[in-house]
Structure 1
Amino acid sequence: MNERELYQKKAQAKLDEWKAELDKLKAQASSASADRQLELNRHIDDLDAKIEQSERKLEELSNSSEESWESIKQGFESAWTTLKGSFKDAADKFK
């Protein structure tokens, strides 16, 4: 496996991990009070959107040519950083 394939595999594994974590957050939100649910659902919707964006970027990355891979990788890493920060913020809200 080359560096590109390893990178994609690692990124997909982390996205899968975050999707599972998001499912846990959804379950946690469903047992909260109505007001708290509204607040938590906003964070969940934000995370859902950012996961989808990261998945699209990962798809772009996997379909990219060798020549464009590095520039697309930078776009993916930017989306990745945003998603990572959002998960940290959401986790703090769910405590």
Structure 2
Amino acid sequence: MSTRNEYIEKAKAQLDRWNAQIEELEARWKKAEADAKVQYEDQLKQVREQRDEAKEQIEKVQKASESAWDDMRAGSEKAWGQIQEAFQKAASRFN
């Protein structure tokens, strides 16, 4: 990711994909049997938390000055990767 704007746009697109996945998972949850609903609800909570964490990361990057962005780029990309991995792991439990 070469620029802050590219990073932000890519991150926003990923958030949109995650929001769509969350909607799909919520639909599955609504169709699930009572005992499975508890498990799905826990997973949905984790997925939403990961999405919210990613959104906060984007907001930090948007508010950062250009010099601060240069300093935080590597950390932001690492954090984003960890959030993405955790989201995928939580979402995969629905399958």
TM score, norm. by length of structure 1: 0.84
Deviation at 1:29, TM superposition (A): 1.0
Aligned length: 94
Deviation at 1:68, TM superposition (A): 1.1
CA distances 1:34-56 after superposition (whole Å, capped 9, x unpaired): 11111111111011111111101
Counterparts of 1:25-44 in structure 2 under 5 Å?
25-44=25-44
Distance 2:63 2:47 in 1: 24
CA distances 1:3-27 after superposition (whole Å, capped 9, x unpaired): 2212211110111111111111111
Moved more, 78-87 or 46-55: 78-87
Partners of 2:46 and 2:90 within 8 A in 1 = no
Match of 1:46 in 2: 46
Counterparts of 1:51-62 in structure 2 under 5 Å?
51-62=51-62
Unpaired stretches in structure 2, ≥5 consecutive residues? none
TM score, norm. by length of structure 2: 0.84
Report the RMSD for the aligned CA atoms in angstroms.
Answer: 1.8
Identity %: 28
